[in-house]
Amino acid sequence: MSIFTQLNFAGDFHIRNWFKMGVMPRAYMVQANSKLLFTHKVLHHNNECCLIRNSFTFPEQSRYVISPEGVLLLTGGYMPVFKSYVKNTFIYDDFSQLFVPKGRMNHSRADHALVYSRNRLFVLGGISDPAGQPEALNSVEVYSIPEDKWVVEAPMPTKRYAAGVCSFNDKHIFLFGGK
């Protein structure tokens, strides 16, 4: 266990490596309204910034997650130039520095909760404007990565956006807070 972990974490839990064997652990950050993608290579303590080659900029309030295979997936967001919420899903191709379009969500949304579990993405709530006015959502969608397909699931009991989410033991999904 690292010194950082020993000094900053206490309790009855274990920290495990999320990534599969042979995958270079990385953390990503996309900069909204730009084409900048920041990468932190964990093992080498190396930071990089690249300019993606797509024609679009990153939407505001989109969400992204990294799979255990090291794949960066980006969903939804708000495009202020078009005053539009989006349904897009992208997978980042590190070699070509392009975000490759995948199956689109059934509902446009931004500021949603996004979590990876069991080779699927779970999208919960968010904000959209189906009637022309922004409003919170209670909808839930699940994306099968191998099938490249989104499915609408039963809605949450309450509408939420800006919530935190986590998967526990690939059996439970917990949604925290939000507005």
Q: What is the pLDDT of residues 108-118, one digit of tens each?
A: 999 999 999 99
Span 134-159, mean pLDDT?
97
46 pLDDT band, cuts 50/70/90, is confident
Question: How much of the chain exceeds pLDDT 70, in percent?
Answer: 91
Q: Is the model's pLDDT at 151 over the cut of 90?
A: yes
Q: What share of the chain is helix, strand, coil (3-state, %, to 5)?
A: 5, 40, 55
**Which residues fall within 8 angstroms of residue 48, CB to CB, at 6 or more apart?**
38, 39, 40, 41
4 pLDDT band, cuts 50/70/90, is low
Ordered structural domains, the chain, with CATH: 60-176 (2.120.10.80)
Mean pLDDT of the chain: 89
- The predicted pLDDT at position 137 comes to 97
Q: Regarding predicted confidence, which is higher, 134 or 43?
A: 134
Between the CA of residue 152 and those of 3, 58, 100, what are the distances in Å?
44, 25, 22
Task: Report how far residue 63's alpha carbon sits from residue 44's, in angstroms, rounded to the nearest whole number.
Answer: 26
Q: Regarding predicted confidence, which is higher, 131 or 4?
A: 131
- The predicted pLDDT at position 5 comes to 54
pTM over 0.85: yes
Q: 40 near 46, Cβ under 8 Å?
A: yes
Q: Is the model's pLDDT at 50 over the cut of 80?
A: yes
Span 13-17, mean pLDDT?
56
Q: Is the model's pLDDT at 2 over the cut of 70?
A: no
* Class of residue 101 by CB neighbours under 10 A (exposed 0-12, middle 13-18, buried 19+): exposed
Which among 7-11, 34-38, 131-135 has the top mean pLDDT? 34-38
**Which residues fall within 8 angstroms of residue 9, CB to CB, at 6 or more apart?**
15
